[in-house]
Structure formats: structure tokens, C-alpha cells
Amino acid sequence: METGPTTAEGQALLRGRLTGRSIAMGLMGSLLLSTCTPWPVGSIERVEVKIDGVVLPVSVEELGAFVRSQTADPGHLSRSELSTWMGLLAPESRQGLIRLLKAPILSRRSFGRQLLSSWGAGPLLNALGELIRVEDGQRIDRALVLSTLEELLERQETVSTLDVLEELPTQQLRLDLDALVAAATRWRLDLQRHQTLMRALAQKEAGLQPLNGTESFISAESPRRSTLAVDHRSRPLPVERWIPQSPREDRTWILMMPGLGGEPNHFHWLARSLMQAGWPVALLEHPGSDAAAVQALLDGRKSFDGAAALRDRLADLAAVLDAQRRGDLNIPGTEVVLMGHSLGALTGLLAGGAELVPGMGKRCEGALVGLPLTNLSELLQCELAAGRGLEGNAMASQPRAVVGLNSFGGLIWPHPFNKALPIPILMVGGTLDLITPPLDEQLPLLAGLSKHASSRVVVVEGASHFSPIRVDGQGKASEGDDVFQLAEELVGVNPLSVQRVIAHEVIRFLDSLSSESPRNDAVHLMEASSKTRWHRLGRRHALQLLDQ
């Protein structure tokens, strides 16, 4: 069924920004809420602090006075064993512990309820239970933790880790600061690895590369919106079709998939660019893991099953491929390129035939013990594996190529044990991405999953996991405006310039598919007006960065 051209509405812009805020809040909540392990019933009076191998009994009042000190300088507190031992810590360790205890952990009760009942809460609660626990090891159910949080939120707008420690119904807690310092050290070393990559790339001399600076944000070229009846869904699947007036002679078409919480509107800018370059594009919507589903999760109306969502996405992909082959979607082309953002990219790799590497359970066990705060995708990868969502998903015939924006799968296909695909692969990542960081995700995936001469990875300086997302109607905003009105750490810098880089590199990669002798030297480039820098690397150069 065809419903005619779509139009951008002001509500779409507002919905996108609200979703962005919720995603950011959810990420912080998922990290910090998990410091709440179950506790025995009682009335809290004392905390035992383990530091430097010594267990010190400390009153909650004393711990609160120390943490809430504006100077965080032990010399400004009354003399006590806690302040004396804290004074022996390295300043960065002491400040890190104070920030952890003062950090806000929850501002939405509905999201907290969903988080505590989700798959990801279990591994984090178990790991962090070694850091903050009761003396006798007794545990209570998570409902009591949730009720404690809800009671706090009735009285105050934000809740910190210290607030929860003071409020939890137990007579005695043990706070293992030795373990917290060790965990913080692991995270710091992991961050230093990523910063080393950034410094290595920043030292490369970059050549100037002109990009399209006159993109038409308000265009008469809009998609045709269709629906497709599919067996695995109770309602027809929405599909947007972007059809060029003169398709390319190579008869290649593109199937594009948003990431978790994404929707077609977020990628109109890229679909339009590809259509203008001559490629037909089918842009999917995935009910159940789209923006509406994420909003339902945040509102407490619906839980989320990652493995089920991935299975539905793979079935969506297969149904669209079948419909295109039958001619039911009126999309010209004989060979398909699978393209996706984040979870959409993982869907493309699985459908493209990437074989699973045995031992996923052990790899997840090791990753979750270390709490992957610098690579949040590892939590989702382990959930997908636990739910058996990664098996038996390859297409009957392999696609022409796979393009992954902020792709992930480093635990699923660990380097150097991957089995290469015979097709070209393009991986795009950003140096500010701590959800799917290039050093742990795009670089090793390229190195292990493809040896094709056209395969490459593009790393954009200052780009984050959310940089490829744009909401229709934002085009009038100034260069570098925050797409979701988030902090720069999440959205990255100059997102509109980053998107021009992505479009440029995707089109260049697709052009190379028809080349008999593609060149894949390391190239370092910069766009003159925004000073946005990026690096195009072949497999050999990706391996060199991984070995540094």
C-alpha cells in the first residue's frame, strides 16, 4: 500500500530531541543505578570501608561529611580514620571516588523500574556487588532497592550514590574502596588506549578535501512510503523508498537500517544523498526497537528484549529482500548493499554471512567482570548471545557489500580469530564514541571480517555514536548544533560536517565497488571550513593501529 510522499513535521524534531535526552539519561542510569545491590532489611547506621587492605568502621554521617565536602580535601575535615586513610590515596583516585559517590544515579522512576527488570541489570549488579555489599552477604530482592529509590525521588529531584547508601534499609554496609580504585584504574587505562589512537591519528598530516557545503535541507525530493505485509508481524512493515530518476548502470540498490531507538527520519539526509547520486534506497522502520519502543521503555509501559528485537530486524530484512526480488516494492536493482547504524550495522553483518566465533560465553564473562563502561555495546552483545539472537541469520546469497556506521561486534567476532567475508566492507566510526569505540569495534571488525581490496574503515575525529543522526527540520540550525540538544561528549562536535564526511565516504566506497583495481592507501583528510578531520584506512593500516 502506498501512501504518498512524507513531510517533516515539527513534532518529529521535538520527538527526536526528547528521545536523545532519554537515551543519554538511560546510559547514565544504566551505569550508575547498578551500584545499588540488594541489601538486608534494617536501619542503616554504619558503613565499613575497606581501603588499602584495612577495614574501617565509619558512621554514615562521617562518610557523608567527607563526600559532601566542597574542597574534597581531607585536611578540611575533622580528624578521623577515614580522612587519614583518604589522605593517603593518590589525588586522582580520591577525586574519582568522591565523584562516584556524589554522582546522580536516577531521575526517572519509570526507567529505573525497567532497568532493574532488564537483562543488563543482572551482570552489572553481580559485578558491582563485589564493590558495595553487606557484611554477611545476605541479599534482598530488587523491588526493595526500587522502592528506596522511589521514596528518595518523592523528596528530591536527583538521587546520588551516597543518598542511596544512606537510605538503604540495612544496619551495616561494606564499601570496598580498594576494588573501586582498581575498577577506576581499569577504566582509566582503557580510556588511555583510545586516547592513544586519537593522538596517533591527530599527528597525521591531512590534505584538504572539499565537501558539498550547499546541501539543500528543505528539498522537494521526499520518499514514497509503503507498507509490506510480513508473516512475523501483526501489522504491515513500514518501508520508505528513495528512487532516483536515473538509476546507476551497475544495478545496485541499498537497504538501510536505523539503530536501536532510531527511525527513518534520522537518516533522510543520507538516503537523499545516495538517491541524488543514483542509488535506489529502501529505508526500513523496525517496530519494537524504534524510537517509539524506546520511549515506551523509558515511560515504563513496555520492557525490551534485545534478542527478540534482533530476530525481528533480521526477518524484516529478509522480507524486504524477498519483496524486492518479486517486484512488489518497485525498487530497481539486482544487487543489494546492506547499510545500517549501530544495531542496524550488526544486522547487516549477520545477514551478510559473518560466522559466529565459538566461546562467546567466556568472552562475555570476562568483559562483564571488568564492567565495560568504555564500550557499552558489549552489554548488548552479551544480551543478544544469551537470548540466542545471533544464530542462523545469513542471507541465501551474500550482499554486494556491507556498510556499518558505528558498527559493533568485537565480542562476537574477536580479533584476530575472525573468519573473513569475501565481500567489501566499510566501517565508519568516531573518536568520541564510547558506545562502540573504533579501537575495540570498527578497526578489529574490518581487520578480521574482510580482506577484500575495497574494504576500509573511516575514523572521524570528534564524531560520536550519535553523530550520524539528524532529525528533519534541523537543517536551518547553525553548523555544529547539537542534534539531540545533548552535551558534546555524547553528540560529538560539528555533527552536520561529520554527516557530510560520512556521505562523501559512503559514496566513494560505493563507487569503488565497480573499480577493477581499487586503491586502499591510508589517507588523512580535512574539510577546510569546519576543520573536521577524518582518516580512511585499509585493512593493513587498521592492523597497524591495533598493534600499537
- Cα 343 versus chain centre, distance: 8
Three-class secondary structure of residue 419 per DSSP: coil
In sequence order, what are the residues at sequence separation of 6 or more whose Cβ sits closer than 8 angstroms to the Cβ of residue 313?
257, 286, 289, 343, 344, 347
Alpha helix locations (H) across 172-216? 177-202
Kindly provide the residue ranges of all beta strands, DSSP E only, lying in 295-344, ordered along the sequence. 335-341
Look at the chain and report how many structural domains it folds into.
2
**In this structure, is residue 407 part of a structural domain?**
yes
- Residues paired with residue 46 on neighbouring β-strands, in sequence order: 59, 172
pLDDT at position 125 over 60: no
Distance between terminal CA atoms of the chain?
54
Distance CA 146, CA 264 (A): 35
Of 501, 492, 500, 497, the residue nearest 20 (C-alpha)? 492
- Are 162 and 238 part of one and the same domain? no
Find cell 586502499 and name the residue: 520
- Quote the pLDDT of residue 239: 97
Of 294, 295, 322, the C-alpha closest to 306 is 294
- State how far the Cα of 313 lies from the Cα of 346, in Å rounded to an integer: 10
Quote the pLDDT of residue 410: 94
* Exposure class string for 210-247: b at 16+ Cβ within 10 A, else e: ebeeebeeeeeebbbbbebebeebeeebbbbbbbbeeb
Supply 107's cell numbers.
531521575
CB 238 within 8 A of CB 224: no
Say how far apart CA 511 and CA 252 lie, in whole Å: 11
**Are 324 and 458 found together in one domain?**
yes
Confidence of residue 504 (pLDDT cuts 50, 70, 90): very high
pLDDT value for 197? 81
Instruction: Indicate whether 3 belongs to any domain.
Output: no
Together in a domain, 415 and 440: yes
**Which of 194, 222, 247 is a domain's end point?**
194
- Which pTM was predicted? 0.77
User: What is the model's pLDDT at position 195?
Assistant: 80
Q: Assess contact for 360 and 411: CB atoms under 8 A.
A: yes
- Cis omega (within 30 of 0) for bond into 123: no
Using the predicted structure, report yes or no on whether residue 120 has a pLDDT greater than 60: no
For residue range 287-321, list pLDDT tens digits in order: 988 878 777 766 667 777 889 999 999 999 999 99
Of 25-29, 202-206, 328-332, which range is least confident? 25-29
- 259 in the same domain as 172: no
- At 215-273, the pLDDT tens digits run 444 455 789 999 999 999 999 999 999 999 988 988 999 999 999 888 999 999 999 99
Give the residue carrying C-alpha cell 583516585. 93
Verify that 208 and 163 share a domain, yes or no: no
Q: Indicate if the pLDDT at residue 23 is higher than 60.
A: no
Q: Do 235 and 151 belong to one domain?
A: no
pLDDT at 269: 94
Report the pLDDT value the prediction gives residue 511, as an integer from 0 to 100: 93
Give the DSSP letter of residue 239.
E
- Residue 6: inside a domain, yes or no? no
- Those residues whose C-beta lies under 8 Å from the C-beta of residue 153, and which sit 6 or more positions away, are 106, 107, 109, 159
Same domain as 208, residue 180: no
pLDDT confidence tier of residue 547, bands split at 50, 70 and 90: confident
Residue 9 located in a structural domain: no
Domain boundary among 165, 194, 223: 194
Whether residues 176 and 287 share a domain: the answer is: no
Is residue 130 domain-shared with residue 152, that is, in the same domain? Answer: yes
Helix or strand (DSSP H, E) at 131: none
- The answer to whether residue 125 is domain-embedded is yes
Statement to judge: residues 180 and 285 lie in one domain: no
- Please report how the helices 121-128 and 360-369 are oriented relative to each other, as an axis angle in degrees rounded to 10: 50
Q: Is the Cβ–Cβ distance between 346 and 408 less than 8 Å? A: yes
Looking at the structure, do residues 449 and 491 belong to the same domain, yes or no? Answer: yes
Which distant-in-sequence residues (6+ apart) come within 8 Å of 8 by Cβ?
A: 265, 268, 472, 473
What are 31-90's pLDDT values in tens digits? 332 333 332 333 445 566 665 566 666 666 777 777 776 454 545 545 566 677 667 666
The answer as to whether 221 is a domain residue is no
Question: Which residues have CB under 8 Å from 88's CB, separation 6+?
Answer: 52
* Gap between the Cα atoms of 407 and 430, Å rounded: 11
Element (H, E) at 491: helix 488-491
Q: What are phi and psi of 442, to 5 degrees?
A: -65, -45
Residue 4, phi-psi category: left (phi > 0), alpha (psi -120 to 50), beta (remainder): left
CA distance 251 to 420: 25
Separation of alpha carbons 400 and 384, rounded Å: 26
CATH at residue 330: 3.40.50.1820
User: In this structure, is residue 14 part of a structural domain?
Assistant: no
**pLDDT higher than 50, residue 512:** yes
Q: Is the pLDDT of residue 26 over 60?
A: no
pLDDT band at 396 (very low <50, low <70, confident <90, very high): confident
Domain that holds residue 138: 36-194
Please tell me what DSSP assigns to residue 33. G
Render 340-407 in DSSP notation, one character per residue: EETHHHHHHHHHTTPPPPS-HHHHHHHHHHT--TT-THHHHHHHHHHTT-SSS---SS--SEEEEES-
Strands (E), 464-529: 523-526
pLDDT of residue 548: 72
**Residue range 330-338: mean pLDDT, rounded:** 95
Please give the pLDDT value at position 500.
94
Query: Which alpha helices (H) appear in 44-133, and where do they start and end?
Result: 60-67, 81-88, 91-102, 109-116, 121-128
26 belongs to a structural domain = no
Q: What tens digit of pLDDT does each residue of 351-374 get?
A: 999 989 999 999 988 887 766 666
| Secondary structure E strands in 258-355 | 281-284, 335-341
Q: Which residues contact 279 (CB under 8 A, 6 or more apart)?
A: 244, 247, 248, 252, 253, 254, 337, 510
Among the residue ranges 37-41, 172-176, 180-184, 390-394, the one predicted with the least confidence is: 37-41
Query: Are 124 and 248 contained in the same domain?
Result: no
Q: Sorting pLDDT into bands at 50, 70 and 90, what band is 480?
A: very low
Stretch 90-115: mean pLDDT: 65
Of 178 and 434, the one with more pLDDT = 434
